[in-house]
Structure 1
Amino acid sequence: MAESTLLVAGVDTHADTIHVAAITTTGKPVDDAEFPTTPAGYAAAITFLRSLGQVQRIGVEGTASYGAGFSRAAAATSWQVLEVTRAVKSARRLKGKSDPLDAYSAARTALADDELAAPKDDATAGLRALHIARRSAVKHRTAVINQLKALLVSAPNSVREKYRTLTTLRQIEAIARCRPDTVTDALARSVLIAAKMLAQRVQFLQTQTEELESQIDTLVTAANPGLRAAYGVGPDTAAQLLITAGLNPDRLRTEAAFAALCGAAPVPASSGKTTRHRLSRGGDRAANCALHRIALVRMSNHQPTRDYVQRQAAKGHGKMEILRKLKRAIAREMFKLLTRQTAVPDYADLRPARQAKNITVTAAANHFGIWPTTISRIERGLQRDDTFADTYRNWLKAA
């Protein structure tokens, strides 16, 4: 094959091997081969493809999992790397399945280039690792708390009556510092030992969750301060949106495509004389959940959102319909924040200005009719409310 021959390549990825295949720009198969998933294997695969001709683009399955290593190696070349999904089951049933067939299928998908996305930036992988660890810690903490409460249900009366009236947090703190060795009853002592281990495990997981959240907050604030500053967007929510979209905004072609990716775009469901839309049940459900959390926070505390909900309710729209519209609008806002840098006002001057006037946090909170904690969080940059921050700053200047 001449070096000037234009090719499109495809890669079927696995844990231990990758299978690469090349086709011409007219779709004619050229050659395929298998290589190990090692740096030497990636280099050999790239050399093999270069020996066949000039590769224009290459489609890789699983660029964020089994294909991550090869994607990085291919990105170091001048090739255009595209993320492809595996063939639908109906096509695989007709044509069969094997590594060479999947590799050729990936190459044909890359040749069609039907709005395929580029792989996510490597920086997303670090954020994703922290996010997975935090989500696991939160999930495990909830499971341990449920185990602890179930254990107390069947505990001896001396143990159950002592802790049953406490709140969950107080209950965990009290059980974690109890001394089972001082109990004479063998059954009560065994239950307390188990309960103390569970309570200490809850505290350990809570510490891990807070440390991971702090790391995540640092990363997302540095990556996209505008997104983190948006109302209702916490560290976990911002991390999920960045993981879904990737830190290379060129992957997101349109705002409608991002809404569809998050499962927030209405899907046409018309037929004949019926014209209607239905909710999307596809897309990244974790991203959809992130939009849902933002919507719930804004419906509870964000006055412009509350006004919007009241207007929609006055038109006769139900809560689920209002929530669907709200999530679609939030997806539009998040797309803008993800694809462009937004200047974030600095709140660092608020606390020194208040302290210079000898005004306490409580006095400022009483003046505005809000909780002192809200003032403190805004002053420390832990909570964003640009409208209130401007009002607060002007009040401090006039005080």
Structure 2
Amino acid sequence: MTAYIAAFGLVRQVGVEGTHSYGAGVTVHLQAAGMRVVEIIRPNRQARRMRGKSDPIDAYEAAKAVLAGPDHPEPKRLDGVVEALRYVHAARRSAIKARAATRVQIKSLLVTAPEQIRARYRNHTVITLIPGLARTRPALEEDLLSRTVLTSLKSLARRYQHLSAEAAVLDVELEQLVTQANPALHQVKGIGTVTAAQLLITAGENADRLKSEASFAALCGTNPIPASSGKTTRHRLNRGGDRHANSALHQIAVARITCDQRTREYIARKRSEGKNTKEILRCLKRAIAREVFTLITNPPPAADYRALRPKRQQLGLLQVHAAVGLGVSTAKISLAERGQVHDAVFLTAYENWLNSPT
């Protein structure tokens, strides 16, 4: 195929539809051959219905789209840490989804189970219900229905435990890959391992293909969409873009609304301007997308937590002294010294407190 393309002369660029799905292999092969590949958006369905569809027609449409103008997105690189992150993230999401479905199924079966079984597990929470069902041993003297129900519930409970163990292993691997790919992003307040992984996957290994923070916001579906009519001038939420990335930004926004004073002040300022809750959330997600774009394209050095405990012990201080000095709990100091607090602002404040003369 490469030889056939090159036989017609100098190849400036090649348009491929679905560079990150069915066209991934072709994209990698052409890029390895030194050709510039651009991503072609799927043709308009209305035009496709009018002209019909076949491989030659699609090829001509892709070629015409490339010739129409240079404004075509560059495909993501399919190698490196971020691509490995995508596979682990997909496996974890599948495990979490299957575990949630298993829990719902257990609850549904218990609702219609015989009364003696319902009474046995009525006051159990999920924490105690799953291990209890997994350990159950149906007695032979019980009736056929009870034995069958308990056996089925035991199977589902063990499946739930297996999926939980699988998700825990994937969580560890995911955190290692995120830390390797962009440790500074992982240390921003409100951005957890899963949300950081999703944002890195959306940006891709070659994040420099994103020309501006506005393009990243549009990719995440957080750019403002005009929704004005008559004398009303307003914008609404964007329902396009990568919905997984949009969900990650939403989770970050909700976390910051709960625990970040700067975000609360931002919301109060927007509300004083007359914006409603949906408009404030859109503005907040847009601001977070701007911050994330900077962290991905120009990541700052990550805060190092490994020197905190030796420095504190060298000064002869206890964790309770640091907790009182910083106005936090002793548990947070312990977690910070073990690298389990992903908040660069707090880690820097702790380091500055240890280095202060007082």
1: CA distance between counterparts of 2:217 and 2:70?
18
* Gap runs ≥5 in structure 2: none
Superposition deviation, residue 366 in structure 1: 5.8
Superposition deviation, residue 358 in structure 1: 6.1
Q: Is residue 178–residue 196 contact of structure 1 (8 Å, CA) maintained in 2?
A: yes
Larger RCO, structure (CA 8 Å, separation 6 or more): 2
Q: Is residue 184–residue 301 contact of structure 2 (8 Å, CA) maintained in 1?
A: yes
Indicate which of 68, 87, 93 corresponds to 1:129. 87
Q: Which residue of 2 aligns with 1:193?
A: 151
How many residue pairs are counted as aligned between the two chains?
355
2: CA distance between counterparts of 1:267 and 1:318?
16
Q: Per residue, is there more strand in 1 or in 2?
A: 1
Task: Summarize the Cα distance change of 1:299–1:94 in structure 2 as closer, same or farther, 3 Å threshold.
Answer: same
TM-score, normalised by the number of residues in structure 2 = 0.91
- Match of 2:14, SS? strand
How do residues 1-399 of structure 1 correspond to structure 2 at under 5 angstroms? 45-122=1-78, 123=80, 124-181=82-139, 184-270=142-228, 275-356=233-314, 361=319, 364-365=322-323, 368-396=326-354
* Gap runs ≥5 in structure 1: 1-44
Q: Which residue of 2 aligns with 1:4?
A: none
Q: In structure 2, what residue type is equivalent to 1:323?
A: L
2: CA distance between counterparts of 1:230 and 1:173?
36
2: CA distance between counterparts of 1:75 and 1:225?
29
Superposition deviation, residue 172 in structure 1: 1.0
Superposition deviation, residue 230 in structure 1: 1.8
1: CA distance between counterparts of 2:214 and 2:274?
26
Task: Summarize the Cα distance change of 1:191–1:371 in structure 2 as closer, same or farther, 3 Å threshold.
Answer: farther
Q: Is residue 235–residue 279 contact of structure 2 (8 Å, CA) maintained in 1?
A: no
1: CA distance between counterparts of 2:288 and 2:209?
19
Deviates more, 1:365-374 or 1:56-65: 365-374
Superposition deviation, residue 135 in structure 1: 0.7
Superposition deviation, residue 51 in structure 1: 1.1
Superposition deviation, residue 245 in structure 1: 1.3
Residues 64-106 of structure 1 deviation map (CA, whole Å, 9 limit, x = unaligned): 1111111111001222111111111122233322111111111
1: CA distance between counterparts of 2:112 and 2:323?
46
Q: Is residue 224–residue 338 contact of structure 1 (8 Å, CA) maintained in 2?
A: yes
2: CA distance between counterparts of 1:219 and 1:270?
44
Deviates more, 1:107-116 or 1:362-371: 362-371
Q: Is residue 266–residue 278 contact of structure 1 (8 Å, CA) maintained in 2?
A: yes
Residues 238-272 of structure 1 deviation map (CA, whole Å, 9 limit, x = unaligned): 12112111110221011111111111011124466
2: CA distance between counterparts of 1:219 and 1:317?
39
1: CA distance between counterparts of 2:321 and 2:147?
50
Deviates more, 1:276-285 or 1:75-84: 276-285
2: CA distance between counterparts of 1:363 and 1:188?
57
- Match of 2:341, SS? coil
Deviates more, 1:208-217 or 1:262-271: 262-271
1: CA distance between counterparts of 2:279 and 2:141?
57
Q: Is residue 121–residue 246 contact of structure 1 (8 Å, CA) maintained in 2?
A: yes
TM-score, normalised by the number of residues in structure 1 = 0.82
Deviates more, 1:121-130 or 1:95-104: 121-130
2: CA distance between counterparts of 1:210 and 1:54?
51
Superposition deviation, residue 144 in structure 1: 0.4
Task: Summarize the Cα distance change of 1:324–1:347 in structure 2 as closer, same or farther, 3 Å threshold.
Answer: same
Q: In structure 2, what residue type is equivalent to 1:221?
A: T
- Match of 1:180, SS? coil
Task: Summarize the Cα distance change of 1:150–1:359 in structure 2 as closer, same or farther, 3 Å threshold.
Answer: farther
Q: Is residue 365–residue 372 contact of structure 1 (8 Å, CA) maintained in 2?
A: yes
